[in-house]
Amino acid sequence: YRFLERKENDREAYWNTDVPENKTDRKEHKFTDEYTLNVPGDWNSQAEKFLYYEGIVWYKKSFDFTKANSTDKVYLYFGASNYETDVYLNGKKLGKHKGGFTPFNFEVPDSVLKATGNYLVVKVDNTRHKDEVPTVNTDWWNYGGITRDVQLVEVPPAFIRDFTLQVQKGAALKTMKNVPVEGWVNVKDWQNTREVTVELPELKIKKIFPVTGERVNLRFNLPAMQLWSPQTPKLYTVVVSNGADRIEEKIGFRTIEVAGKQVLLNGKPLFMRGICMHEEIPQQIRRAYSKQDALQLLGYAKELGCNMVRLAHYPHNENMSRTADSMGILVWSEIPVYWTIDFTSAEVFNKARTQLTEMITRDRNRASIIIWSVGNETPVKPARTAFMRNLISAAKSLDSTRLVSAALEVNYQAGVSKIDDPLGEFVDIVSFNEYLGWYAGLPDRCRTAQWEFAYDKPFFISETGAETLYGFHGDSLTRWSEEYQEWYYREQVAMFKRMPENFAGLSPWLLCDFRSPRRNNQTFQEGWNNKGLIDQQGRKKKAFYVLKGYYEEKGL
């Protein structure tokens, strides 16, 4: 392990967001200690001395591996590793990846892999840099390490790299009979394999397609079937095979579109009763990664009466979207283009687009995901608008079936809150974050708030919230008390009820209190952002029940 020369628990340094770039006295030196770290898992939560650690950790592991067939290919797959990862096997470099929240893999050449005594070394560096995505300044903990699963994957030479199947875009779903679906199978390098078979056993469907080029297009009808929705999260097993390889996926079929002022799910108006969340689990206080974690977080959302979650501010682990698929929870999935980054840099754009591509490639078969978000609160400037527009086009060309949005800022003018960000023209849903009654004024401000919308599109409140310490009580005018947050939510709910008809839903900020290096108010924060409706111990604050009450009313 090589640590940057910083006190191991250097809280001051961690809280100073300029540290990674501007400290000139950084030297590297070797620690002789070795630790056993769990993978998947962030390193910060695995030992007290790592809590504030940012820098490099070298991982090593040995393993034996015998291929089932000598002609098979082997890949080393990482679910995610934050942020820069270099992978070596038996002394040979397999590759490098940047980006903390999306999957990547490297082919392991036959010449490198041994039957016994393979030695895998992975260097992970979570140092923040100005020209990375996200950049130096974020309001969440920069958990380092190999935070998601690592797998060795053995496949035949002609293997199914990827496929997708969804309801045809624009299909009018008058009846549930003969629902048209479309998609493709990636057949790159299949050489002598001439056919691919797609089956949906439950619907007694078996289709055989001839293989040409690198992509085989799929288009057929499903007979009487059930669409996926939050009320009926029906998933069908889809089997794709070619004689040598076979993969099975569980896929839900639904449509999502904007028609005039409304968002339509399966052709019917949708109101999103959402909540934002970070990928952090209360009580244990670490990065979430497992199915169990997903059940806990999404279980809280269900209890709150949600039909939707905003997974902020980066792609969460795959268990989240898969569990959302089976629980019937709609998902907003986002890349970490957050606040100010260098919008003039082509290199930074490429980093953002790579993460967008990796996110969409992983999750394009998840019915739960209805919105790809290209960023959060990026300040309105011409270069930024061009940058974000290009990301929107990239998302659309990767997946034309889902909606694209971004959390915009409100343009506060005397007495009027204007939603007029130029990016509004290019997104499908105009989303924005507002904190009326927390960052400015008291919650009763909501009563006189005037909203002006420049776009005749559905709009979505992607954040609203107030900080509160669980168990800290006062009257409703006492900031940080549970009563203040409760009052804030009451006033906000009353305001939502007066919103115009294109109000398509909301995802308040946020489900659980979370660690943040920016939050250094010594009395109320101590390294925590406490806008959760649930605290770090998993206890519900009073405001939880205000939002739940509203969602119960809306859900009727």
Q: Which residues bind ligand ADA (CB under 6 A)?
A: 139, 313, 376-377, 433, 463, 509, 529, 531
| Minimum distance of ligand ADA from residue 147's CB (angstroms) | 19
Q: Which is nearer to ligand ADA, 39 or 466 (CB)?
A: 466
What residues contact residue 375 under an 8 Å CB cut-off, 6+ apart? 334, 335, 337, 338, 352, 388, 391, 406, 407
Closest approach, Cβ 340 to ligand ADA, in A, equals 12
In the complex, the smallest distance separating the C-beta of residue 86 from ligand ADA, rounded to whole angstroms, is: 30
State how far the Cα of 414 lies from the Cα of 186, in Å rounded to an integer: 54
- The minimum distance between CB 48 and ligand ADA, in angstroms, equals 26
Tracing tokens 């939560």 back to the chain, one arrives at 45
The closest alpha carbon to 349, from 381, 380, 384, 378, belongs to 384
Select the residue whose beta carbon is closest to ligand ADA and give its number. 139
| Of residues 227 and 341, the one with the C-beta less far from ligand ADA | 341
Do 159 and 77 touch, CB atoms closer than 8 A? no
Nearest-approach distance from CB 531 to ligand ADA, in angstroms? 5
424: β partners: none
Question: Cis link prior to 40 (omega < 30° from 0)?
Answer: yes
In the complex, least distance from residue 121 CB atom to ligand ADA, rounded to whole angstroms: 35
Q: How far is the CB of 288 from ligand ADA (least distance, A)?
A: 17
Closest CB to ligand ADA among residues 171, 533: 533
**Which lies closer to ligand ADA via its Cβ, residue 463 or residue 535?**
463
Q: What is the DSSP string of 48-116?
A: GGGTT--SEEEEEEEE----SSTT-EEEEEES--BSEEEEEETTEEEEEEE-SSS-EEEEE-TTT--SS
At its nearest, how many Å lie between ligand ADA and the CB of residue 329? 21
Minimum CB distance to ligand ADA, residue 144 (Å): 19
Smaller CB distance to ligand ADA: residue 313 or 542? 313
Residue 338 beta carbon to ligand ADA: minimum distance, rounded to whole angstroms = 7
Nearer to ligand ADA, 155 or 410 (CB): 410
**Minimum separation from the CB atom of position 12 to ligand ADA (A):** 21
- Nearer to ligand ADA by Cβ, of 173 and 442: the residue is 442
Give the nearest distance from C-beta 74 to ligand ADA in angstroms: 40
What's the distance, Cα to Cα, between the start and end of the chain in Å? Answer: 56
Nearest to 428 by CA among 382, 370, 496: 370
Cα angle for residues 289, 311, 124 (degrees, 5° grid): 45
Nearer to ligand ADA, 177 or 381 (CB): 381
| Residue 119, both tokens | 């030695």
Query: Judged by CB, which is closer to ligand ADA: 89, or 337?
Result: 337
Nearest to ligand ADA of 76, 430 (CB atom): 430
Closest approach of ligand ADA to the CB of residue 315, in Å: 15
Q: Are 234 and 222 in contact (CB under 8 A)?
A: no
Query: At residue 227, what is the residue type?
Result: L
Of 122 and 281, which has the nearer Cβ to ligand ADA? 281
CA 389 to chain centre: 20
Minimum distance, C-beta of residue 490 to ligand ADA, in the bound complex (Å): 19
Q: Which of 246, 194, 186 is nearest to 217 (CA)?
A: 186
CA distances from 132 to 15, 100, 251, 351, 379 (A): 19, 10, 34, 7, 17
Residue in the block written with tokens 């130096």: 136
Contact between 550 and 505 under an 8 Å Cβ cutoff? The reply is: no
The tokens of 266 are what? Answer: 């399966």
Q: Which residues on neighbouring strands pair with residue 331, listed in sequence order?
A: 309, 369
Of residues 245 and 434, the one with the C-beta less far from ligand ADA: 434
Cis peptide before 510 (omega within 30 of 0): yes
Q: Which amino acid is at 269?
A: P
Residue number with CB closer to ligand ADA (377 or 399): 377
Longest dimension (CA), the chain: 75
Residues 340, 131: contact at Cβ < 8 Å? no
**Do 277 and 297 contact (CB within 8 A), yes or no?**
yes
Spatial neighbors of 414 by CB under 8 A, at least 6 apart, are: none
Query: Which of 171, 276 has the CB closer to ligand ADA?
Result: 276
Angstrom CA distances, 358 to 179, 289, 402, stand at 29, 17, 16
For 79, 131, 159, 197, 432, the CA distances from 103, given in Å and listed in that order, are 4, 21, 19, 27, 29
